[in-house]
Amino acid sequence: MPETSPLLNWLAIAVVGVLVGIVAVLLGKAIATSNLFNRGVKLYQEKDYEQAEAILRTCIERQHSNDMARLLLGDALTKQHKLDEAIAVFEELTARSRKNVDAFLSLGKVLMEKGKLDEAIAQFQKAAAIKPNRFPEPHRALGLALKEQDKTEEAIAALTKARDLYQAQGLNQMVEVSEQDLQQVSVQ
């Protein structure tokens, strides 16, 4: 077996040491960002939306790809009635993550709260189209928005789809809520 030079051994040790150092730094940053995100979630759950907003913004600055932080930030802004800021966050999120049902649904809800029914309906339709046979909430939100526009047949179709999906998923409480929604639309 050929003998390796001591210089080559030291060089290999130095390279491995540098790589281990880089991994340690990256791991430390990831753990710090994860802890920050968890703190933001906790503040959100405690309904301290102002502090949650600040923490979640910092989290997003550190980890641009954290869509969950963006979703919670948008919700925290909505809870503080900062609707235009929430819309901007949700629009950015829907542009980044075209398959994020919750992003489209949340954007639609904020638009509806602002009285922009046509825009809200468009977002609910996008949310419902992503996985039409999996997520009932976009169908329910769509049905309720269509009800506001007196589009009874379309509202009934969307609410029926929501009820059927809730039923298939065994969410009996939401089945009852959907039945009530359907009754209210039928009474109009």
List, for residues 137-179, the tens digit of each pLDDT value: 999 999 999 999 999 999 999 999 999 999 999 999 999 999 9
With CA atoms as reference, report the closest residue to 161 among 188, 143, 184: 143
Q: Report whether 40 contacts 55 (CB < 8 A).
A: yes
CB < 8 Å & 24+ apart, contacts of 109-113? 109/78, 109/141, 110/74, 110/78, 110/83, 110/86, 111/87, 112/141, 112/145, 112/148, 113/78, 113/83
pLDDT at 8: 74
Return the CATH class of domain 13-97. Answer: mainly alpha
Query: What class has domain 101-188?
Result: mainly alpha
pLDDT above 90 as % of the chain: 77
* 3-state DSSP assignment of residue 175: helix
Segments of the chain assigned to CATH 1.25.40.10: 13-97, 101-188
* Secondary structure of residue 80 in the 3-state scheme: coil
| 172-187 helix and 152-168 helix, angle to the nearest 10 degrees | 170
State residue 35's pLDDT score.
83
Pair of tokens at residue 115: 């009285």
Lowest mean pLDDT among 24-38, 55-69, 172-186: 24-38
- The reported pTM is 0.81
